Structure 1
Amino acid sequence: MSRSPRSPLVLAGLLATAGVAHFATPRSFDATIPRALPGEPRTWTYASGAVELALAAGLALPKTRRTAALATAAFFVGVFPANVKMAVDWRHRPAPQKAAAIGRLPLQIPLVLWARSIAENGKGQA
């Protein structure tokens, strides 16, 4: 999936956009935080936004790209429970919102594979 040399930068842009959104509109993200996590949802919202920004920076730099790509793949797996919670919570919403929430679930697979592909292509780089 990461055949283009721009691929890491595109993924970095996606993560940076999501990271900024966590700070710009945190309330929408707070609602997706699983109740089983300790502490306040806003803390998790800000922490995940900060992680997304850090991962974006790591992907943008060739020296840290491979490690950041592996961490990004793990991050996408780690946030999957929030996507499941959102799909469950939104099951009674209007069809477009419900479809968006459910559509996020299988989207995690290509995101994980994309990040892993970037890591594989990063082997042998500085």
Structure 2
Amino acid sequence: MSRSPRSPLLLAGLLATAGAAHFASPRQFDAIVPRALPGSPRAWTYAGGAAELALAAALAAPRTRKGAALATAAFFVGVFPANVKMAADWRHRPARQQAAAFARLPLQVPLVLWARGVARGAERAA
């Protein structure tokens, strides 16, 4: 995915959209914050949204792209427990919602690989 020169900008766009969604519709994100995390779920929702917006901005700038891409890969790994919680919480919902929740789990792998590919591309461009 990282071969296209637009790939970093597409990843930045994905993160910016997700980050904005955390502020526009926080309740859906609050529900998937793992209970083991201290503090309020809303604080974690806003922190996650802010992190996604910051990562998007850093990915968009060639000077900060490599570090931002590596941080993005780590971020995608870090939010995996929220996707696991969502899948577990949604196991009794209608089949379409269950499928959507479970589909998020393997989706993290290509997202991590995409971010790592952007980092490698930034390294080659430097």
Instruction: Please indicate the TM-score interval, normalised by the length of the shorter structure.
Output: over 0.9
Structure 1 position 88 matched with structure 2 position 88: yes
Q: What is the rounded CA distance, in whole Å, between the counterparts of 1:21 and 1:72 in structure 2?
A: 17
Structure 1 position 115 matched with structure 2 position 118: no
Which residue number corresponds to residue 100 of structure 2? 100
Q: Give the structure-1-normalised TM-score.
A: 0.98
Q: What is the rounded CA distance, in whole Å, between the counterparts of 1:60 and 1:83 in structure 2?
A: 26
4+ runs deviating over 4 angstroms? none
Q: What is the rounded CA distance, in whole Å, between the counterparts of 1:9 and 1:96 in structure 2?
A: 31
Show the 5 A alignment for 1:5-24: 5-24=5-24
Which residue number corresponds to residue 34 of structure 1? 34
CA RMSD of aligned residues (A): 0.8
Q: Which segments of 5 or more consecutive residues in structure 1 lack a partner in the other structure?
A: none
Q: Which segments of 5 or more consecutive residues in structure 2 lack a partner in the other structure?
A: none
Which residue number corresponds to residue 62 of structure 1? 62
CA deviation string 1:1-25 (max 9, x = no partner): 2110000000000000000000000
Between the two proteins, the alignment pairs up a number of residues equal to 126
> How far did residue 125 of structure 1 move?
4.0
Q: What is the rounded CA distance, in whole Å, between the counterparts of 1:125 and 1:47 in structure 2?
A: 31
The one-letter amino acid paired with 1:57 is A
The one-letter amino acid paired with 2:101 is A
